[in-house]
Amino acid sequence: MAQAAFEELVEDFEFLEEWEDRYRLVIEEGKAMDPLADALKVPATKVDGCASQVWLHATIEGETLHFDGESDAMIVNGLIAILRKLYNGLTLKDVLAVDARAEMGRLGLNDHLSAQRSNGLRAMIERIRSLAAAAA
């Protein structure tokens, strides 16, 4: 069910043997994102539960979810970019069906993120799922 862009990322991660190289790839993914407009960095888009500042802004077109986001931490920006590859373009129903923990596990992220980063990632996933559920 994962998007083609996410599958390509999985392949890139499988090619990299060292976690440090994978970590760099996560950061590069975040750097490649366009910044979120300052007007969208408001309390309504802020994600609670993250150690760093995180904003996620979703739009629903028909039954399809799209979201953008930004963080003040490079690694978290990369996690947002990865979540965009996982979820953007899915129907609301499919967003709710994604097992994000298993999908992120395919990248090895479950084993290599600090407890704070893992909690923040869970908070971002929950925000995305709640946005999809509210719109469904």
Catalytic residues: 50
Here the tokens at position 121 are: 């990632």
Longest dimension (CA), the chain: 41
Half-sphere exposure of 106 toward its Cβ, with a 13 Å CA cutoff? 14
Q: How far apart are CA 133 and CA 93, in angstroms?
A: 8
> Among 65, 4, 71, which residue's Cα sits nearest to residue 41?
71
